[in-house]
Structure 1
Amino acid sequence: MTGALTVSFTRRRGRADQVHVTRGDMTTTSWEFPSYGDALPHDLVHLVVEEGLDLTDGFWGLIDQGAYVVMVGDQAVLTRDGVPLAQRPDTDFTGLRRAEEAVAILGPQPHLEQSGKIILARVDPGSFATPDLPGTARRLGFQLPQSTTSDRVDTIHTRLRDLARRWRDVEDGTITLTWHRASTSGR
């Protein structure tokens, strides 16, 4: 890839939100997804985390390499040439799994509330603090990329908090981000 990946996330209150992508090779793709309301779209969190940790072979790396997103119900399915990547034996999902694990730990964190015998998990759209990253990763059975440093985590969380404020303030509008892929993956 020679150029940067540019992604526009469009909030459309009362209907599905949208992503439009211009890949490094200047090809484009777009998809709609069910609204997350005031919470940041999951794919936007992926972009910030993957860029912040130099994960070049995660979700956005696959998109930049020509994968497409097709929504099946409320589930995103990655495809290439009309075939789901999960059905292609040549697809390596190691980077995607690593990115999903990093997003699970560094993205919005749920707060558990007990109501009688029921425990509810509520997500504050602007809550990105993970006090014990290594402990959380261990409990979940995840391995954080080697590129995960406290400075990078602070930078990621600061950027996510800023974007969360911007997303909440958007009525019907767009946030555009550009990602210059690093040359190596943060493994």
Structure 2
Amino acid sequence: MGGMDVTFQRLGGNRYFANAARADGVTVQVPGYDRTSAIPHDLAHFVAEREFGVTRGFWGSVAAGALFTNMVVVSGRQKPHAAERSKQIIKAHADDLGISEALAGVVHDAVEEDLAVDVVLERLRGYWGIISAAPLPVVAADVEPAVNALRRAAERWAAVPVDEGLTLTWPLPVEKVPVPCAGKARTGRSRRGR
């Protein structure tokens, strides 16, 4: 399983940040930028990715060891080659990161704007057409539970006092992305055998 706890910390106004305590003992901080929304965008990402089973989206990437440019390590010690691993994870997850952004954005809008499921699906089809030529892998039966889950999370978030947090556990499996080791022969042959 994911083994990562994410705490969304409320600041004054609609400001927040999130701390993700990964299974490897490292805690990273994700700054919050969306000061106009009542629901943190990163919370919408968490819920949408969880509900749609996106293991290679933003939070799945963080759980796997990705460190995006706006993030900082706040505690723990990263493993050797953490920067290379992070780059490989982000590269390997690139398509799913785009998909998760579309899913999170649409689900976030659905709750913030109280949209009907058919409107949510239409918006999602519009985003999906930009991301992929494949058919949309989501139907109305998938959208409604995700929107309802974000509504419940939004209610929990609204009850969090300033300077306190809402902690959620990442429930999805973490994908291990292999990182090429520096200094090893790439051909598979020993250097002695040459």
TM normalised by structure 1 equals 0.68
Aligned AA (1:150): A
Q: Quote the residue 2:181 is aligned against.
A: none
SS class of match (2:25): coil
Give the deviation of 1:150 after TM superposition.
Answer: 3.2
Bigger proportion of residues as strand: 1
Which residue of structure 2 aligns with residue 29 of structure 1? Answer: 28
* Identity value in percent: 25
- Give unmatched runs, 5+ long, in structure 1: 73-79, 110-123
Q: Which of 146, 153, 165 is the aligned partner of 1:156? A: 146
Aligned residues: 159
Root-mean-square deviation (Å): 3.3
Name the residue aligned to 1:177.
Answer: 168
Counterpart CA distance in 1 for 2:89 and 2:30 is 25
Residue 91 of structure 1 aligns to which amino acid in structure 2?
K
Tell me the residue number matched to 1:103. Answer: 104
d(CA) in 1 for partners of 2:25, 2:67 = 14
Q: Which of structures 1 and 2 has the bigger CA Rg? A: 2
* Shift in Å, 1:51: 0.8
Q: CA deviation at 1:14?
A: 4.8
SS of corresponding position for 1:68: coil
**Deviation above 4 Å: which 4+ runs of structure 1?**
82-85, 142-145
Q: 1:152 and 1:91, CA in 2 relative to 1: closer, same or farther beyond 3 A? A: same
CA contact (8 A) 1:55 1:95 kept: yes
The aligned counterpart of 1:118 is none
**TM-score, reference length from structure 2:** 0.66
Cα distance, 1:29 vs structure 2: 1.0
Distance 2:45 2:32 in 1: 15
- Indicate which of 108, 112, 123 corresponds to 1:125: 112
- For residues 134-153 of structure 1, what are the structure 2 equivalents within 5 Å? 134-140=121-127, 141-142=129-130, 146=137, 148-153=138-143
Q: Report which of the two has the higher share of helix.
A: 2
Is the partner of 2:91 in helix, strand or coil?
coil
Structure 1 equivalent of residue 46 of structure 2: 47
